[in-house]
């Protein structure tokens, strides 16, 4: 507890507040002579072959009740979609039905070993084939690779497929440019650069979308592809995407689409109909499981007819005896897979969760979820537009609404200050300072499953904070968060000098 915090809230003898315990590190709580279990050292031959540890390992010792209390108290310091509204723009905090979790933990799925013979896991392969069928139906595409482990991994997979297509045509050496709009996800240019391409940016026009004329002006025989995020990071659907795809195809280039925001258009728009050649889908974001919590993620990639022959292995393919895993190039005659991205077949747990979500929702339910996501974002936009400023005007948005800091001009309050003040009000902050094209950006994305009541609570808090900022209550913001377990961090120091490992006060001496 800092002195500044004590200035606001009276100190207690213990350092605790009400029933909230000031939780020390587990190393500071435990002692080497305490333990929750007794482990008997087995008699007989030592199977470690002389490699056993000879020094103290320094694990904290706690009784079972102490261990349980420690982690329960830590969990109370977490904020999650199960705790309240989580309006993190560009990262859907998806409602995660417990039935999906229960399905993923069924022994037939959870206990599979990746090296098991295929004939021992027909149910899992059938689920992968069914999931692939649903993804292709939703997207109107030709082939799908389930193996990528996350969105950025999917980007790499899709662009490697495009690169393989250029290599097959003998044009890879001349096609070295990838066009990336400044409204794209930040991983897009990184992915292109990782593959050795030169990234050529294109600015968005005044309404926040990409102009076909701007693309036409820079595309040429050296263009390999364009990476377009749709809906884009400004929360807007690209209305000219079909014309942009046609421009690229006429030039012999391909269109990669960042499908991280597919949850806004699922069962509403088929990417294949838009002229997209490759696109990743975040199963963990669009089809259940909260995103941004450290995983597990899953980023299957869908391919157009032109790129499908180059999709990586392993893949599920339909055979005379049912679905099977294609592990080697000989398993897909006539195709030219560019190789493998991962050792095995992807995140089975995420496949099950996504499939459970799809089966529970059905086509009409997924369409409704997309419509609700857009409705919720526009409800927030409509109720805040008289106070908060919007960089591209008051336009209908998709699943997320973008504000900027223009309305805070001359108040002494910044976007970061407002986000920190939201913590004091009991809400996780929105995404700030992203996308970079908007000054002082505040990107708000409500989960489609949020009720009007919870949206109104968030909106009322946002309006109250804006009113306080405009009224000159600067200290309320610059000192925020005032009521969180920890006060505001020195973010520059935290980034440049992170403390990633606990160090004991005294190093243990090796036992001789």
Contact 400, 185 (CB under 8 A): no
Segments of the chain with pLDDT less than 70: 1-10, 45, 292-295, 506-512
pLDDT value at position 263?
94
Q: How far apart are CA 331 and CA 19, in angstroms?
A: 62
List beta partners, residue 256: 227, 278
Contact 463, 427 (CB under 8 A): no
pLDDT value at position 39?
74
Q: What is the pTM of this model?
A: 0.89
CATH code reported for the domain at 100-357:
3.40.640.10
Q: How far apart are CA 376 and CA 392, in angstroms?
A: 19
Contact 332, 310 (CB under 8 A): no
Name every residue whose Cβ is closer than 8 Å to that of residue 154 and which is 6 or more positions away in sequence: 148, 259, 280, 281, 282, 299, 300, 301
The sign one gets for the Cα dihedral 43, 48, 50, 56 is: negative
Please state the domain extents for the chain: 15-37+58-77, 100-357, 363-496
pLDDT value at position 1?
42
SS3 state at 465: helix
CATH code reported for the domain at 363-496:
3.90.1150.10
Nearest to 266 by CA among 354, 161, 326, 145: 354
List beta partners, residue 258: 229, 280
pLDDT value at position 6?
44
Contact 332, 315 (CB under 8 A): yes
Nearest to 169 by CA among 383, 344, 336: 336
pLDDT value at position 89?
85
Q: How far apart are CA 380 and CA 22, in angstroms?
A: 36
Nearest to 59 by CA among 40, 39, 81, 32: 32
* Number of Cβ atoms within 10 Å of the Cβ of 131: 23
pLDDT digits 0-9 by tens, 92-123: 888 888 999 999 999 999 999 989 999 999 99
pLDDT value at position 132?
96
pLDDT value at position 509?
55
Please confirm whether the linkage preceding 314 is cis (ω < 30° from 0): yes
């Amino acid at each position: 507890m800092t002195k500044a915090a004590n200035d606001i809230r009276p100190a207690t003898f213990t350092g605790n507040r009400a029933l909230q315990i000031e939780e020390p590190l587990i190393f500071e709580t435990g002692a080497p002579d305490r333990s929750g279990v007794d482990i008997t050292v087995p008699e007989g031959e030592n199977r470690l072959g002389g490699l056993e540890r000879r020094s103290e390992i320094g694990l904290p010792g706690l009784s079972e009740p102490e261990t349980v209390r420690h982690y329960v108290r830590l969990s109370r310091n977490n904020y999650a979609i199960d705790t309240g509204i989580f309006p993190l723009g560009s990262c859907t905090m998806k409602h995660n039905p417990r039935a999906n979790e229960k399905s993923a933990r069924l022994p037939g799925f959870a206990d599979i070993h990746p090296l098991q013979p295929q004939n021992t896991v027909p149910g899992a392969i059938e689920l992968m084939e069914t999931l692939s069928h649903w993804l292709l139906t939703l997207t109107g595409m030709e082939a799908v690779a389930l193996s990528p482990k996350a969105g950025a991994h999917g980007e790499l997979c899709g662009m490697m497929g495009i690169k393989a297509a250029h290599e097959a045509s003998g044009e890879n050496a001349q096609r070295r440019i990838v066009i990336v709009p400044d409204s794209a996800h930040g991983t897009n240019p990184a992915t292109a650069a990782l593959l050795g391409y030169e990234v050529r940016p294109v600015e968005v026009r005044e309404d926040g979308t990409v102009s076909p004329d701007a693309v036409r002006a820079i595309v040429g025989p050296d263009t390999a592809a364009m990476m377009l995020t749709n809906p884009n990071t400004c929360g807007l659907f690209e209305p000219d995407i079909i014309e942009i795809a046609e421009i690229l195809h006429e030039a012999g280039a391909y269109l990669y689409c960042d499908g991280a925001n597919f949850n806004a258009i699922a069962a509403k728009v088929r990417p294949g109909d838009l002229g997209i050649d490759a696109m990743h889908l975040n199963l963990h974001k669009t089809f259940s499981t909260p995103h941004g919590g450290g995983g597990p993620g899953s980023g299957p990639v869908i391919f157009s007819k032109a790129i499908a022959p180059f999709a990586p292995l392993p893949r599920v393919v339909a055979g005379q005896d049912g679905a099977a895993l294609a592990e080697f190039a000989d398993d897909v005659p006539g195709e030219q897979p560019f190789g493998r991205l991962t050792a095995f077949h992807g995140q089975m747990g995420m496949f099950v969760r996504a499939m459970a979500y799809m089966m529970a929702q059905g086509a009409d339910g997924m369409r409704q979820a997309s419509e609700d996501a857009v409705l919720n974002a526009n409800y927030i936009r409509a109720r805040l537009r008289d106070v908060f400023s919007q960089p591209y005007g008051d336009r209908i948005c998709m699943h997320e609404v973008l504000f900027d800091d223009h309305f805070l001009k001359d108040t002494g309050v910044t976007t970061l200050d407002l986000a920190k003040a939201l913590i004091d009000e009991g809400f996780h902050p929105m995404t700030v300072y992203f996308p970079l094209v908007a000054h002082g950006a505040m990107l708000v994305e409500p989960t489609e499953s949020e009720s009007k009541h919870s949206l109104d609570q968030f909106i009322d808090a946002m309006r109250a904070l804006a009113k306080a900022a405009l009224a000159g209550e600067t200290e309320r913001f610059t000192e925020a968060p005032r009521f969180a377990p920890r006060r505001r961090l020195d973010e520059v120091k935290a980034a440049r000098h992170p403390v990633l490992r606990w160090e004991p006060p005294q190093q243990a001496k090796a036992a001789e």
